Amino acid sequence: MSDFIDKLKETFVVDDRWQYLLRGLGNTLIITLCAAVLGILLGFIVAMIRSTHDKTGKLKIANIFCRIYLTVIRGTPMVVQLLIMYFVIFATLSSKYKIVVAILSFGINSGAYVAEIVRSGIMSIDNGQFEAGASLGLSYRRTMLFIILPQAFKNVLPALANEVIVLLKETSVAGYIGMEDLTKGGDIIRANTYQAFMPLLAVAAIYLIMVIILTALVGKLERRLAKNDRR
């Protein structure tokens, strides 16, 4: 027992090592939050372009660009994208902007998945809804904004939340470009103390708690949105 407490002390208390985890957690949260916002924004724009093209045949060229984006991003590993972003595209950038590069990479990656989620949500809305909007004199854009998107958003909310959870866990590869995120923080402790069990388990537990909280929040939101369509 005292052995266990010694290990605990050595891992977290000696040299204030817990700060590695705290700082790492901070970075992980910043990257996840900003990348999620960027990804959802990007995803909605791409989904709009793609579904407008599918429904009306317009925006041909924009649609081609979107398809290339989706194919490339979904066809290559996240880590490789991160490395290319940091060591090729932003090679000349000062390393203190690392976090911006990480946010950009994760956001652009997540956007591709969000785009397909949202698009499937839009395409799943009955065509009659588009027609009803049009028959009232609403333009395509207004119909989309006031009639289709609110319904589509509700339908894809669980999938969207899932994507954010995946994103949160995915940011653990940020260490590849030297970002001190939560995983990297635990890893630094492991390297310093030659103890793997404590720091890595702590890291896993922190991820797990965050995911559980996120899942609970989404459940709450879903129930609130579901209020108006008891069937």
Binding site for other proteins (CB under 8 A): 126, 128-129, 131-139, 142, 146-147, 150-151, 154, 228-231
Q: How far, in Å, CA of 138 to CA of 131, rounded?
A: 10
Residue 67 or 154 with smaller CB distance to other proteins: 154
Angle at 209 between CA 187 and CA 23, to 5 degrees: 40
Q: How far is the CB of 216 from other proteins (least distance, A)?
A: 24
Q: How far is the CB of 59 from other proteins (least distance, A)?
A: 14
Q: How far is the CB of 37 from other proteins (least distance, A)?
A: 24
- Are the beta carbons of 83 and 106 closer than 8 angstroms? no
Q: How far is the CB of 222 from other proteins (least distance, A)?
A: 14
Residue 223 or 230 with smaller CB distance to other proteins: 230
CA distance readout (Å), 22 to 9, 19, 96, 179: 16, 5, 19, 14
- Are the beta carbons of 45 and 108 closer than 8 angstroms? no
Q: How far is the CB of 161 from other proteins (least distance, A)?
A: 19
Q: How far is the CB of 231 from other proteins (least distance, A)?
A: 5
Residue 6 or 126 with smaller CB distance to other proteins: 126
Residue 146 or 197 with smaller CB distance to other proteins: 146
Residue 16 or 229 with smaller CB distance to other proteins: 229
Residue 96 or 223 with smaller CB distance to other proteins: 223
Q: How far is the CB of 146 from other proteins (least distance, A)?
A: 6
Residue 15 or 131 with smaller CB distance to other proteins: 131
Nearest to residue 48, comparing CAs of 35, 40, 110, 104? 40
